[in-house]
């Protein structure tokens, strides 16, 4: 057994510097009378400080409920694989009733025996680089335990030495003894045999989830419903991972190698919300911003804007349906947040405006580095972010400009469709002017001259109301 007290710094909301983590893990000695008001770091100790290591059973239970679902939990595990320079990630979902298991294997750098043990600490001690997708040192544990009671890490680091390290964190064990411990498991279970096969010939890491109580919540895992639940999980993972990691799968992320993800042997297809392969997709000019504040001024935030085409302009009806997204067109419009090329939130206007049928083809990418996590209030599950107030003021005009152009494009497409269906036979001249008016609105939005066009429309409504009405002004 290996004792693993959690790091205090991560549990109270931050990462302590590497040189101070040992202090966070060690019980503070009882102060002597002559040591009263002794300063440790920047904190002043009072008389008789006491170690307050949290109850293992209670804290691990509470940390199971911080917002993950099955798809976001697996995505968090993949973040670790990307940080380890993985090129391929295999997800295996095995249906075996109450003994079902999920496995996430990568061909990354792998870990030594001590690193495997440390990886299972809540608030593991490590520093994160600018491109690492981890943040608190909690993801592997909290993501895994949100779905399963037992998580095992199997890893091999050396290319030549075939040493494979295995450690297990088991909630039942922790709750029974109320201790922070991991242990080396027996290797007689099928899931662990499969895991070791993945790293038998080369370095890599495998995460094995067993006792899937949260995955099977509310149903009997031994029945048909259990198998169907795992089939649905595979489908959900295919859609979600294809969206969240689409830049990595496409090879457009800021890393040297593209990524392959396979679920039960089937490769995940990337889902790019901005339809770059559709010729009719309109790309509006990007905006670059810098946040105020001493720790943020050296980091740029980029807003990219897109207007997706109407149904009739897609390469195929199937592509139109596929690009509508998991939540379909209306609920997929809006801003997509990217943290170091990994999507952390999709389809929201961030309080700038509300969802509208006429702007359902408007989508934007907001890109920011991991150094701005605190400003964007990225949560532990890395599935939610908040636009800082000062940045919201800056992006509101270009977002509204995007929506004005998308609105005009939608109305133009609707007008053309009605005319093609014969709905405009009686008023072709008027319809042509309306189409011209819509085109003017689109052109003005793309040129950043929406305000000027509105002034022209206002003058025209006063000077020639009939012409203004015919143009749709």
Predicted local confidence at residue 257, as pLDDT: 86
HEC per residue, 189-236: CHHHHHHHHHCCCCCEEEEEEECCCCCCCCCCCCCHHHHHHHHHHHHH
Over the range 427-454, which residues count as b (16 or more CB within 10 Å of their CB) and which as e?
A: eeeebebbbebbebbbebbbeeebeebe
Give the model's pLDDT for residue 422. Answer: 62
pLDDT, tens digit, 9 for 90 and up, residues 240-273: 999 999 999 999 999 888 999 999 999 999 999 9
- Condensed to tens digits (0 to 9), the pLDDT of residues 60-81 reads 888 888 889 999 999 999 999 9
The answer to whether the predicted template modeling score (pTM) of the entire model surpasses 0.95 is no
Give CATH for domain 58-267. Answer: 3.30.565.10
Which residues on neighbouring strands pair with residue 167, listed in sequence order? 153
The H or E element that residue 93 is part of is strand 88-94
Q: For residues 101 and 210, is the Cβ–Cβ distance under 8 A?
A: yes
How many other C-beta atoms are found inside a 10 Å radius of the C-beta of residue 21?
21
Q: Where in the chain is the domain with CATH 3.30.565.10?
A: 58-267
At 49, is the secondary structure helix, strand, or coil?
Answer: coil
How many other CB atoms sit within 10 Å of the CB of residue 11?
17
Write out the chain's pLDDT in tens, 473 residues.
756 667 655 555 544 333 333 323 223 333 333 444 444 455 555 566 777 777 888 888 888 888 899 999 999 999 999 999 999 999 999 999 999 999 999 999 999 999 999 999 887 655 555 555 555 567 799 999 999 999 999 999 989 888 999 999 999 999 999 988 999 999 889 999 999 999 999 999 999 999 999 999 999 999 899 999 999 999 999 999 999 999 999 999 998 889 999 999 999 999 999 999 999 999 999 999 988 765 666 789 999 999 999 999 999 999 999 999 989 999 999 999 999 999 999 989 999 999 999 999 999 999 999 989 989 998 877 778 999 999 999 999 999 999 999 999 998 888 877 777 765 444 444 455 666 777 787 777 777 787 788 888 877 777 777 777 777 77
- For 243-275, give the DSSP string: HHTHHHHHT-SSSSS--EEEETTEEPPP--TT-
Instruction: Please state the φ and ψ torsions of residue 191, each to the nearest 5 degrees.
Output: -60, -40
Query: Residue 246 contacts by C-beta under 8 Å, 6 or more apart in sequence?
Result: 270, 271, 272, 273, 343
Under 8 Å between Cβ of 135 and 382: yes
Q: What is the predicted pLDDT for the residue at 43? A: 53
According to the model, what pLDDT value does residue 226 have? Answer: 96
């Amino acid at each position: 057994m290996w004792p693993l007290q959690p790091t205090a710094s991560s549990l109270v909301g931050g990462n302590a510097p590497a040189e101070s983590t040992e202090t966070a893990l060690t019980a503070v000695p009882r102060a002597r009378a002559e040591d009263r008001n002794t300063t440790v770091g920047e904190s002043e100790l009072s008389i008789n400080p006491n170690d307050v290591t949290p109850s293992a059973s209670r804290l691990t239970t509470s940390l199971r409920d911080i917002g993950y679902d099955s798809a976001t939990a697996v995505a968090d595990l993949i973040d670790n694989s990307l940080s380890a320079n993985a090129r391929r990630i295999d997800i295996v979902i095995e249906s075996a009733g109450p003994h079902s298991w999920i496995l996430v294997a990568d061909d990354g750098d792998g870990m030594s025996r001590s690193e495997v043990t440390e990886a299972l600490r809540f608030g593991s001690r490590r520093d994160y680089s600018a491109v690492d997708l981890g943040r608190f040192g909690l993801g592997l544990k909290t993501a895994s335990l949100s779905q399963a009671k037992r998580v095992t890490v199997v890893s091999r680091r050396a290319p030549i030495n075939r040493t494979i390290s295995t450690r297990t964190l088991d909630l039942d064990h922790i709750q029974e003894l109320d201790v922070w411990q991991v242990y080396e498991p027996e290797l007689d279970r099928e899931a662990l045999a499969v895991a070791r096969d993945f790293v038998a010939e080369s370095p890599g890491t495998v995460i094995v989830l067993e006792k899937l109580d949260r995955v099977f919540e509310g149903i009997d895992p031994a029945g048909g419903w259990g198998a169907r639940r795992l089939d649905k999980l595979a489908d959900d993972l295919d859609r979600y991972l294809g969206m969240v990691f689409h830049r990595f799968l496409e090879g457009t992320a800021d890393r040297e190698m593209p990524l392959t993800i396979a679920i039960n042997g089937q490769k995940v297809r990337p889902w790019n919300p901005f339809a770059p392969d559709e010729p009719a997709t309109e790309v509006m000019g990007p905006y670059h911003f810098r946040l105020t504040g001493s720790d943020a001024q050296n980091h740029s935030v980029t807003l990219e804007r897109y207007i997706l085409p109407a149904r009739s302009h897609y390469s195929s009806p199937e592509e139109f349906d596929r690009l509508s997204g998991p939540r379909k067109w209306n609920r997929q419009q809006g801003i997509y947040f990217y943290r170091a090329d990994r999507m952390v939130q999709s389809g929201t206007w961030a309080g700038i405006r509300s969802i509208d049928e006429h702007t359902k083809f408007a989508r934007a990418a907001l890109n920011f580095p991991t150094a701005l996590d605190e400003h964007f209030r990225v949560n532990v599950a890395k599935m939610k972010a908040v636009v800082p107030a000062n940045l919201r003021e800056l992006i509101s005009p270009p977002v509204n400009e995007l929506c004005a152009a998308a609105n005009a494009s939608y109305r133009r497409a609707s007008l053309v469709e009605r005319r093609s269906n014969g709905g405009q036979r009686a008023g072709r001249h008027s319809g042509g002017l309306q189409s011209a008016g819509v085109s003017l609105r689109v052109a003005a939005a793309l040129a950043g001259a929406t305000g000027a066009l509105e002034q022209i429309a206002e003058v025209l409504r006063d000077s020639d109301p009939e012409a203004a009405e015919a143009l749709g002004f």
